Structures are given as structure tokens and as C-alpha cells.
Structure 1
Amino acid sequence: MDQLKASGKPFDISKQEVWDAWIKVKGNQAAFLPAVSREALKKMSTAVRSWRLHRRINSTEADLARMINPIVRGWMAYYGAFYHTELTPVLDRINTYLLRWIMKKYRKSGTLRKARQAMAQAAARRPRYFAHWIWVKPAVK
């Protein structure tokens, strides 16, 4: 700042530039929203895919919950602290794998409609059984 005063040069900023900067700050367009990065989302999706939940038909709901809840809680606490809606695609993917698990585990009622109903009933009975059900409810259509 002292260098500018010593040089005797006036600031070379137009009124339009100042006005545009003010509009951005006033409209909160210059704000920073910390969220999960695309790379982290890809790693989480890869991890969910590697669990192969839909293939674990010998496991019970309790086994699946014990396996995935600590990991998902960690993701929700770390990445979802500020902007948790960015985790929705990954959490929805977990629900999709759980639906597929229901369809394979209980083959007699293996239709998608019945699996959705069963999952919705399970979520209504125990809404915190799976950690991600706090933010993303199972699809009911």
C-alpha cells in the first residue's frame, strides 16, 4: 500500500469492476461451499461397489448393518459436515444395493415393487438401523 502511495499512481479500477465485485459479495456468489470432491465420491462409489452387498445372500440385515454402518457414519461425519446433500448419490447407491440384496435373499418376493415395500417397512420400523437412512430414505414408488 505504501508503494502505491509513494509512486503517486492512482488506482486503476473502474467503477464497473467495483460494482461487479460488490454484487458478487452481496449475492453470496463469491462464497465457498466446502463439499466432497469428485475424486472422493468416486472412491466411495468404488468402495460401495466392492462390498458386493447384493451378493451376500447368506448374511442377515444385522451383518450388513455391522459391516457398512461404521464406514458410512465416518463418511457422513467427515464429508457431510457442511454440505451433506452432495453425498446423496453414494447413499442412494447403497439403498439400491440393499434393494437388490432383498430381491436375491427372498427370491419368492423378488420383484422390485415388493422389495421396495419391504425396505420401506423396515425403515419405518427401525429408521436408524442403517446409518445412511438418517439422510436418505429408501425409495417408495
Structure 2
Amino acid sequence: MYCRDGNRKNDYPNTSFDFLGYTFRGRLAKSKRGIYFNSFSPALSGKAAKRIRDKMREWKIGRWTDAGIEDIAERVNPALRGWWNYYAAFYMSECKRVIAHLNDILEKWAARKYRRFKRRRAKARDWLRRMAERAPEMLYHWTLGVLPSAG
């Protein structure tokens, strides 16, 4: 396996590998002096990201119309915390992108639970955003700054 980075510039067919849920490959990094360079480093792998999103879908949160957002938070926060603690050690932006998928699921849940959002996903998104701003500690990923999109 050839590990291409700023010091190794040759071209080889395989320049990355997966190990323990991380993909190791060349990525942009910043030196202590503030200079950007190509470094060989890990980040959340595509397979691990797919497993996380699949697990979120398995929860079928959209069908929990009898549950409140507090009940959902109680159930999903341990998994979110575990994923974050393991995968965000390197390149937390990759982990944030995957965990943000939960906001889309919650948006669909709100549109299904509350009649006033029926066929109005944008209103459900706005409501979820306001909820995240009022109580950012409710869901673990909100405390990390992974909030629902503004619109």
C-alpha cells in the first residue's frame, strides 16, 4: 500500500485503505505555521457512514407519532454520543455530515406528527430549528452545533 502525502508524490493504483471504520488517505492538513499541505490521515469511512445512516433508518423515528421529541432524544442520544466519541477523533466534519442526517429524519417525523406541517416540510424544518435554538442540549448532536438547516 502506497501512502501518498506531501512528501510522497508518486502515483499508485491504491492510495487509501479502510481500517476499524476509518478511511486512511491523503487529505488537506494545516501545519503549525499555518501552511496547508497534503497529509495521510484517517476519517470516518464510507462504509461506517452508511452503517450509521442505516441504523438511524432502522429506528423508524418517522413512525413514532405517539412519542415527543424528548422521548426520541432519550432513545437516540446514547448512540449519537458513542458514534461521536469514536468517529470524530479525526476529521470531525465528516462525522458531523453523517450525524446531520438525523435532522432530516426528525423533520419528516415532525411533518408526520403535527397536522400543521402536513405537506409543508419547510415549516417542520423551521419548527425544528427553533426547537434546537431554544433547547440545544436536548439532542446530543445539537450541542455539537449540528443544527437543522435554516431553510
Q: By the TM > 0.5 criterion, same fold?
A: yes
TM superposition shift of 1:89 = 3.2
**Aligned counterpart for 1:85 among listed residues 93, 97, 100:** 93
CA–CA separation in structure 1 for the residues paired with 2:50 and 2:8: 37
TM superposition shift of 1:140 = 1.2
Corresponding residue number in structure 2 for 1:33 = 41
CA–CA separation in structure 1 for the residues paired with 2:145 and 2:133: 14
Which of the pair has the greater relative contact order for Cα pairs under 8 Å at 6+ separation?
1
Corresponding residue number in structure 2 for 1:138 = 148
The ranges of structure 1 where at least 4 consecutive aligned residues each deviate by more than 3 angstroms after the TM superposition are 20-24
Decide whether aligned partners of structure 1 residues 27 and 108 sit closer, same or farther in structure 2, where only a CA change above 3 A counts.
closer
TM superposition shift of 1:108 = 2.4
Query: What TM-score, normalized to structure 2?
Result: 0.71
3-state DSSP of counterpart to 2:37 = coil
3-state DSSP of counterpart to 1:88 = helix
Larger radius of gyration: 1
Amino acid of the residue matched to residue 52 of structure 1? K
3-state DSSP of counterpart to 1:33 = strand
Superposed CA offset, 1:67-109 (max 9, x none): 1001001101110122111123322210000000100110223
Matched, 1:102 2:102: no
Say how many residue pairs are matched: 120
TM superposition shift of 1:23 = 8.3
Amino acid of the residue matched to residue 54 of structure 1? G
Name whichever structure is richer in strand by fraction: 2
Q: Among the aligned pairs, what percent are the same residue?
A: 32
Stretches of structure 1 lacking an aligned partner (at least 5 in a row):
1-19
Stretches of structure 2 lacking an aligned partner (at least 5 in a row):
1-5, 11-34
Corresponding residue number in structure 2 for 1:70 = 78
Query: What TM-score, normalized to structure 1?
Result: 0.76
Q: How big is the alpha-carbon RMSD for the aligned residues of Structure 1 and Structure 2?
A: 2.2
